């Protein structure tokens, strides 16, 4: 049913570097066996193609970035308790992606994600989960039917972004989600990289809107000027990293508040050619709470660790020796 990251052909710049569209490929036409090289070259030269910000004139100046706004103590967040790894806390942006947020939050509250694994892990790209089958082929929304993308020029695939996975069909979002793990890439400082990226994503959007004219909605996209990244968004990618090739094509609806070290640890596990971890990485449970409650819980755990640290410190010293 799903592979949840649509296959896409390579732009000329990548084909020139020896990457072509062949069988047995995953996401965006990237062969899994070459994914690391592709991410290096594309992320490096012009592959990280994609953009999610309408034309430069529309979002070029003064574009705010909610993902980096100060989080309020009464803000609701989700905490994923990942077995043997730790916690990942996530904030949401209901104003820009109300259905995606409602879907994810309700799944958390109803225990849908409890016991589910991260079935697709690609270092320097994303970690993906949310499929009860653990295959990448299953999962349902809270409405028991797939729902449409919610695309905006306010949310981007910066490192730590939370987004909905989908198939090549625009209306195919269910329960699967991914967290962007990719970090800073020096090629983001090259202007020609962004030029290639904008051209590629513009083509992808045009293709999609031609094939599914009634299923796609991008109010920020100007077909005349094409898809463009505002200067401040480019700069933010240079500062924090991420995967701009996914912008404008997938729904971003949240951001990691705490736990990127956990995301990085998961991304570093041994996987097969399809990104399936050799040892299952399981979300033992997930829960909703306010940010204030989360801070209190972490402070409590920290205090407990301090109170009983003498024995642990002694053991560590022995190990170190």
Mean pLDDT to the nearest integer, 19-23: 30
Q: How far apart are CA 9 and CA 247, in angstroms?
A: 16
Mean pLDDT to the nearest integer, 102-107: 98
Q: How far apart are CA 161 and CA 153, in angstroms?
A: 14
DSSP run (H or E) holding 181: none
pLDDT at 103: 98
117 close to 135: Cβ distance less than 8 angstroms? no
Could you tell me the domains of the chain?
A: 12-60+73-303 (2.40.100.10)
More confident residue, 135 or 45: 135
Of the candidates 115, 211, 130, 141, the one whose C-alpha atom is nearest the C-alpha of residue 170 is 211
Contacts of 77 (CB under 8 A, 6+ apart): 71, 89, 90, 91, 92, 257, 288, 289, 290, 291, 294
Least confident range of 37-46, 137-146, 239-248: 37-46
């Amino acid at each position: 049913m799903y592979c949840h990251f649509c296959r896409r052909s390579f732009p000329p710049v990548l084909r020139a570097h020896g990457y072509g569209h062949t069988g047995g490929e995953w996401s965006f036409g990237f062969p899994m066996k070459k994914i690391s090289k592709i991410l290096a070259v594309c992320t490096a030269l012009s592959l990280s193609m994609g953009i999610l910000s309408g034309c430069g004139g529309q979002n070029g100046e003064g574009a705010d970035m909610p993902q980096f706004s100060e989080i309020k103590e009464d803000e609701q967040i989700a905490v994923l308790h990942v077995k043997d790894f730790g916690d990942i806390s996530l904030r949401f942006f209901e104003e820009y992606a109300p259905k995606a947020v409602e879907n994810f939050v309700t799944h958390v509250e109803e225990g849908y994600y409890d016991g589910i694994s991260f079935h697709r892990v690609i270092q320097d790209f994303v970690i993906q989960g949310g499929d009860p089958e653990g295959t990448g082929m299953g999962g349902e929304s809270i409405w028991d039917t797939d729902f449409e993308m919610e695309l905006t020029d306010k949310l981007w695939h910066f490192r730590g972004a939370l987004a909905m996975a989908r198939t090549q069909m625009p209306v195919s979002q269910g329960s699967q989600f991914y967290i962007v793990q990719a970090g800073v890439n020096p090629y983001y400082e090259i202007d020609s990289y962004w030029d290639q990226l904008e051209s590629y994503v513009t083509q992808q959007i045009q293709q999609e809107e031609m094939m599914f004219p009634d299923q796609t909605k991008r109010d920020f996209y100007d077909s005349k000027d094409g898809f463009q990244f505002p200067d401040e968004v480019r700069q933010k990618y240079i500062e924090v990293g991420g995967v701009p090739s996914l912008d404008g094509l997938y729904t971003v609806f949240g951001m990691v508040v705490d736990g990127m070290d956990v995301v990085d640890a998961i991304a570093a596990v041994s996987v097969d050619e399809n990104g399936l971890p050799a040892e299952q990485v399981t979300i033992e449970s997930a829960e909703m709470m306010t940010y204030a409650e989360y801070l209190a819980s972490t402070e409590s755990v920290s205090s407990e660790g301090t109170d009983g640290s003498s024995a642990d410190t002694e053991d560590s010293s022995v190990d170190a020796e």
